[in-house]
Copies of this chain bind each other. A is one copy, B any other.
Amino acid sequence: MATYLEQLETPAPVVDMDRLALNLDRMAAYATLHGLRLRPHVKTHKSPRIAAEQLRLGAVGLTCATLREAEVMAGVCDDLLVAYPPVGAARLERLARLPGDVRVTVAADDAAALDALSVAARLGQRTIDVLVELDLGMHRVGVTSPEKAIAVARQIERAPALRYAGVQFYPGHVRAPVGEQDAALRQVGRDLGAYLDALRSEGLAPAVVSGGSTPAAWRMHEVPGVTEVRPGTYVYNDRTTAQIGACDWEDCALTVLATVVSVAVKGQAVVDAGTKALGREPLRAEGEGYGALLDHPEVVVARMSEEHGILDLSKTSWRPRLGDQVRIVPNHVCIVVHLFDEIIGVRGHAVETAWSVAARGRGANLELDTAPSRPRAV
């Protein structure tokens, strides 16, 4: 393996190991300080190696979105929350087939999903814990009234092989700068309170109240009743997280290493990181580019093709030369990780390690056809 950054092939996702360690420590300390159970979402890193470090630092379990993530993380953790609607025969089958000694929890917002889930749990000879998913303003999934929450909870209690474990919500709409989240957090607190009161009055007091997300993570202790948080992005952070103040620019641990491959067109430089390396995630609003240089944050990736990123040089006197390397802080790091198979760990300019994004992809077990090979000149 290459010894220094400069020898690496580009584009490549590169993680500063010191920054990563600080990010992991900081969230673990926050959770401990406020008595919140930390159940990190693995969607950001998809790597058992990072998950093992999160568990070593005190995480009570892991959160997954896909069954591929759950299958891979079962290798390092015996308490998994699959925070995704348990709908679809293939998904249920994989859920039921997770190792028998792993405690599996899912989140549901529809009583109609519970019959099939119960059948799957029984066929898998296991009990599945179920959280009722609440919509507290994100308007994506989740029951939309306390009455519906009670109905789903009762249905869970009635269903064989299912266990009512509590509630979860995802406050992904709380994306204001951290210091300006007061009103949104108070609203989440009021709405959650109404759900909790209603459930308690029906004898359905939730053992788990799971919230979280990195943008709102540092203030989740202010929402009464929350017992658990599920942040994901904090391990690597990104330009969006820095913009809303949930981390500093210096906390962005993952950058996309890229090479300047053309300076032919005036006023710009072209690097070999495009949409297939950075994704096309806007920085909240359009027009602020798809990433910025770690060492020159005023230089943004203004336009992209699949394998080309166009650096706008209008706001800098810095002039890159053909072949120069740059490090790009992406707008949304979870998308970048999902685009690569391996991550490279560095300290300063020294390459220290590399690990697999093992839970990437879907892991469907298909029989594949191959192409005929060309005749070779022997």
- CB-defined interface of A266-277 with B at 8 Å, one 1/0 digit per residue? 101010100110
Contacting A368 at CB < 8 Å: which of B43, B264, B342, B368?
Answer: B342
B376, A101: Cβ atoms closer than 8 Å = yes
- CB-defined interface of A350-361 with B at 8 Å, one 1/0 digit per residue? 000111100001
Contacts of A260 on B, CB cut-off 8 Å? 87
Within 8 A of B (CB), among A272-320: 272, 275-276, 279-282, 286, 303, 305-308, 310
Contacts of A250 on B, CB cut-off 8 Å? none
A49, B371: Cβ atoms closer than 8 Å = yes
> Which 5 interchain pairs have the tightest Cβ spacing?
A9-B90, A48-B371, A85-B261, A49-B371, A141-B262
- CB-defined interface of A31-47 with B at 8 Å, one 1/0 digit per residue? 00000000000010001
- CB-defined interface of A60-94 with B at 8 Å, one 1/0 digit per residue? 00000110000000011110000011011111001
A144, B339: Cβ atoms closer than 8 Å = no
- A188 CB → nearest B CB, Å: 16
Name the CB-closest residue of B to A360.
B341
Q: How far is the CA of A344 from the CA of B362 in the complex (A)?
A: 13
A372 in the interface, Cβ–Cβ < 8 Å?
A: yes
B368, A88: Cβ atoms closer than 8 Å = no
B49, A364: Cβ atoms closer than 8 Å = no
Contacts of A303 on B, CB cut-off 8 Å? 140
A76, B373: Cβ atoms closer than 8 Å = yes
Within 8 A of B (CB), among A233-277: 259-266, 268, 270, 272, 275-276
**Given A51-B371, A305-B172, A374-B77, A264 and B87 contact (CB-CB distance below 8 Å):** no
A90, B7: Cβ atoms closer than 8 Å = yes
A228 in the interface, Cβ–Cβ < 8 Å?
A: no
- CB-defined interface of A327-366 with B at 8 Å, one 1/0 digit per residue? 0000000110011111010000000011110000110101
Contacts of A354 on B, CB cut-off 8 Å? 366-369
A377 in the interface, Cβ–Cβ < 8 Å?
A: yes
B307, A87: Cβ atoms closer than 8 Å = no
- A40 CB → nearest B CB, Å: 14
Contacts of A156 on B, CB cut-off 8 Å? none
A306, B374: Cβ atoms closer than 8 Å = no
A186 in the interface, Cβ–Cβ < 8 Å?
A: no
Of A19-27, A107-115, A203-211, the one contacting chain B is: A107-115
Contacts of A84 on B, CB cut-off 8 Å? 261, 272, 307
A143 in the interface, Cβ–Cβ < 8 Å?
A: yes
Provide 7 A-B residue pairs closer than 8 Å at the C-beta atoms, listed in order of the A residue. A10-B91, A52-B372, A65-B307, A76-B372, A276-B338, A306-B334, A342-B364
B76, A265: Cβ atoms closer than 8 Å = no
A9, B339: Cβ atoms closer than 8 Å = no
A323 in the interface, Cβ–Cβ < 8 Å?
A: yes
A259, B87: Cβ atoms closer than 8 Å = yes
**Given A264-B109, A368-B356, A279 and B275 contact (CB-CB distance below 8 Å):** yes
A371, B113: Cβ atoms closer than 8 Å = no
Q: How far is the CA of A259 from the CA of B101 in the complex (A)?
A: 29
B101, A265: Cβ atoms closer than 8 Å = no
